[in-house]
């Protein structure tokens, strides 16, 4: 009989317990996720969610119920879901799951990790000029009234001479932003999704839900005075505040039907990562029927938000398909966990890459509205690439 650890925090917390899980991560079968509330490491696979048509959440619930009936006291599903809801999920119940407190509370997370020494060749897909032209074309269509917003992405294809060291890459990402959401999970046969996202899509704990949409960004500066100026300017930017409000309104509309009460702050605050400032709103709510509403039910109702797709959703998806010369895969999908009681955390998969052999494909996107400029959005994606480029020791 397989034993799966409880989701409850351990009574005795030892320094280094969270970083120990980080150090033990081993691809390609392990699944690692660190959030501001906990650190998880799943070993092996005891059951996978098959790819079928129809709603995803009931199938996940059935899989977890079956594992509980088979003797697992607290089974957990972990993994990633793609941007395209019709594409194959990468969700599984690990053979075992170990839990620890958050990385940010572990004093050992401050220890330095040796710099990456991998040599990379870099190819931009599409080239910045082509990406800028796509942004300009979208802006013209928005000014003509066709749609309100679209999120356009580009990629960097990094090729190494040898297979890159993914565990070392994950450790550098985690230490760069220990208060964020760091993950490494299998995303497809032979592929690993790895990243450090700043954005919680939604979590459920008992009857309480929390969502934290981010929209509107500015790059950080190494100069303290300039960094503060950029943060203050972002809080007053009409373009970014409008972009953020569109996302928050969509989150409220998607979650309200599940809630007895919902609280949405009037103005956003700021969230910072090592590379970016983001406008942030923390939405909380009390579920009307927590016995029937799981974390994945909520995540599925939200996905994709205007922060990763655009508005209206259908037309924004069409523009993305016409403008991006690649398949997003798990990028701007979600990664996370859920237990058999319906509690869980689902994170927006941004600031991420997909590793396959010697190839590492990085993704970054920018929200394009009628006031956008090709130069600004290209620069924003370049700034967002920095999170991963610093972790792998590459430069753009």
Give residue 140's pLDDT: 96
**Among 393, 369, 376, 375, which Cα is nearest to 143's?**
369
Give residue 117's pLDDT: 75
Q: How confident is the model at residue 13 (pLDDT cuts 50, 70, 90)?
A: low
Known catalytic residue at 149: yes
For 176-229, what is each residue's pLDDT tens digit?
Answer: 889 999 999 999 999 999 999 999 999 999 999 999 999 999 999 999 999 999
For the cut 50, the answer to whether the pLDDT of residue 6 exceeds it is no
Give residue 225's pLDDT: 96
For the cut 70, the answer to whether the pLDDT of residue 1 exceeds it is no
DSSP symbol at 115: P
CA distance 286 to 266: 18
Known catalytic residue at 384: no
CA distance 6 to 97: 9
For the cut 70, the answer to whether the pLDDT of residue 45 exceeds it is yes
Which member of 124, 149, 354, 377 is catalytic?
149
Q: How confident is the model at residue 4 (pLDDT cuts 50, 70, 90)?
A: very low
For the cut 70, the answer to whether the pLDDT of residue 323 exceeds it is yes
Bond before 126 cis per omega within 30 degrees = yes
CA distance 278 to 168: 27
Which member of 199, 324, 345, 380 is catalytic?
199
CA distance 385 to 363: 7
For 136-188, what is each residue's pLDDT tens digit?
Answer: 999 999 999 999 999 999 999 999 999 999 999 999 999 988 999 999 999 99
For the cut 50, the answer to whether the pLDDT of residue 257 exceeds it is yes
For the cut 70, the answer to whether the pLDDT of residue 233 exceeds it is yes
For the cut 80, the answer to whether the pLDDT of residue 5 exceeds it is no
């Amino acid at each position: 009989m397989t034993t799966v650890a409880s989701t409850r925090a351990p009574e005795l917390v030892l320094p280094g317990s969270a970083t120990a899980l980080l150090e033990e991560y081993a691809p390609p079968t392990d699944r690692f996720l660190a959030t501001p509330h906990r650190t998880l490491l799943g070993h092996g696979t005891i059951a996978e969610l098959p790819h079928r048509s129809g709603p995803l959440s009931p199938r996940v619930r059935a899989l977890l119920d079956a594992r509980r009936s088979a003797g697992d006291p607290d089974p957990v599903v972990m993994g990633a879901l793609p941007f395209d809801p019709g594409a194959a999920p990468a969700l599984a119940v690990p053979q075992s799951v170990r839990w620890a407190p958050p990385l940010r509370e572990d004093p050992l997370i401050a220890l330095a990790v040796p710099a990456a020494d991998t040599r990379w060749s870099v190819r931009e897909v599409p080239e910045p000029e082509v990406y800028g032209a796509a942004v300009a074309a979208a802006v013209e269509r928005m000014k003509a009234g066709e749609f309100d917003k679209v999120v356009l992405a580009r990629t960097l294809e990094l090729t190494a001479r040898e297979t890159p060291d993914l565990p070392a890459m994950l450790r550098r990402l985690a230490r760069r932003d220990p208060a964020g959401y760091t993950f490494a999970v299998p995303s497809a046969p032979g592929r690993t999704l790895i990243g450090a996202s700043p954005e919680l899509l939604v979590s459920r704990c008992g009857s309480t839900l929390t969502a934290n949409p981010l929209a509107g960004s500015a790059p950080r500066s190494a100069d303290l005075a300039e960094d503060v100026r950029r943060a203050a300017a972002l809080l007053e930017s009409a373009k970014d505040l409008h972009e953020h409000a569109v996302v928050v309104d969509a989150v409220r509309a998607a979650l309200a039907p599940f809630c007895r009460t919902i609280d949405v702050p009037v103005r956003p605050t700021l969230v910072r990562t090592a590379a970016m400032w983001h406008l942030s709103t923390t939405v909380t709510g009390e579920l009307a029927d927590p016995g029937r509403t799981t974390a994945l039910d909520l995540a599925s109702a939200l996905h994709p938000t205007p922060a990763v797709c655009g508005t209206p959703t259908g037309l924004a998806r069409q523009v993305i398909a016409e403008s991006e010369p690649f398949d997003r895969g798990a990028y701007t999908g979600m990664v996370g966990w859920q237990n058999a009681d319906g509690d869980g955390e689902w994170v927006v998969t941004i600031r991420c890459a997909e590793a396959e052999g010697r190839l590492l494909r990085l993704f970054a996107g920018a929200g394009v509205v009628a006031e956008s400029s090709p130069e600004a959005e290209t620069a924003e994606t370049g700034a967002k690439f920095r999170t991963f480029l610093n972790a792998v020791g590459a430069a753009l």
